[in-house]
């Protein structure tokens, strides 16, 4: 049977890429090894506690959706997903406007008492988003809380912020792809990239009205 394949080799957004920081194969390998570490730590933790427990992943939307989709398929334990929607770069902003919880709390229940949580975000920049999310989760009284990020920027605030798992350290530049956006575009790029400066100019074709 003939199966039509989408053309994924070339995308209209390719000319907007300045450089590829991490390509898809490198990302896949690192996500797999991070999952292995999480699984090993989880096994050690549950063995030490002498009881079987479930893990609950809490991805911060929107940027972590591809990372978490790949990550959970490498995780062997029983797990659940609770979504949390926080945004700090509205529209075409490339500097944080301060994190805000969007659209209620995703599907986060009022109590997470006794739950073992793994909070997952795409990128640790100033640390304000993770700090807000950690605070929201701690109020729900989980039994344990760990944090994982795909990327950590090379800036003092990010390095000082305590996170349990980091896939990649990146320079302090604006990055996109593999779930990360600029103005809600580029999330579908399979690699993690930097963008050409023209993309950020007010006359750029994709730009929505600044909010």
| Residue 177 in contact with Mg ion, rule: CB under 5 A | no
Q: How many CA atoms lie within 13 A of 56 on its CB side?
A: 19
Residue 76: Cβ-neighbour burial (10 angstroms; 0-12, 13-18, 19+): exposed
Please choose, out of 18-26, 45-53, 76-84, 169-177, the segment that lies near ligand IMP by the rule CB under 6 A.
169-177
Q: Identify which of residues 86 and 115 has a Cβ nearer to Mg ion in the complex.
A: 86
152 alpha carbon, distance to own chain's centre:
10
Q: What is the x/- site pattern for ligand IMP, positions 88-127, by CB under 6 A?
A: xx------x--x---------------------xxxxxxx
30 binds, among ligand IMP, Mg ion, none (CB under 5 to 8 A by kind): none
Q: Which residue is nearest to Mg ion (CB)?
A: 63
Whether residue 57 contacts residue 72, with contact meaning beta carbons closer than 8 Å, is answered with yes
| Four-residue CA torsion sign, 156, 159, 162, 163 | positive
- Whether residue 169 lies in the annotated active site: no
Q: How far is the CB of 63 from Mg ion (least distance, A)?
A: 4
Scan residues 31-70 and list those touching ligand IMP (CB under 6 A).
60, 63
| Four-residue CA torsion sign, 210, 195, 74, 144 | negative
How many angstroms separate the CA atoms of 96 and 83, rounded?
A: 21
**Which residues bind to Mg ion, rule: CB under 5 A?**
63
Which residues are identified as catalytic?
Answer: 125
**Which residues bind to ligand IMP, rule: CB under 6 A?**
60, 63, 88-89, 96, 99, 121-129, 174-176, 180-181
């Amino acid at each position: 049977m003939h199966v039509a394949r989408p053309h994924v080799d070339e995308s209209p957004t390719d000319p907007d890429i300045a450089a590829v920081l991490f390509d898809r194969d490198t990302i896949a390998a690192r996500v797999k090894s991070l999952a292995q570490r999480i699984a090993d730590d989880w096994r050690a933790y549950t063995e030490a506690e002498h009881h079987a427990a479930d893990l609950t992943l809490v991805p911060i939307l929107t940027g972590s959706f591809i990372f978490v989709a790949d990550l959970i398929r490498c995780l062997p334990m029983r797990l659940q997903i609770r979504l949390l929607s926080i945004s700090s770069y509205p529209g075409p902003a490339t500097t944080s406007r301060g994190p805000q919880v969007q659209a209620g709390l995703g599907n986060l229940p009022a109590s997470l008492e006794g739950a073992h949580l793994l909070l997952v975000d795409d990128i640790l920049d100033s640390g304000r988003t993770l700090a807000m999310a950690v605070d929201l989760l701690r109020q729900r009284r989980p039994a344990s809380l760990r944090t994982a990020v795909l990327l950590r920027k090379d800036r003092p605030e990010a390095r000082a912020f305590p996170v349990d798992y980091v896939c990649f350290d990146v320079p302090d530049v604006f990055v996109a792809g593999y779930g990360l956006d600029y103005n809600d575009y580029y999330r579908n790029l399979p690699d993690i990239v930097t963008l050409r400066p023209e993309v950020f100019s007010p006359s750029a074709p994709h730009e929505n009205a600044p909010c």
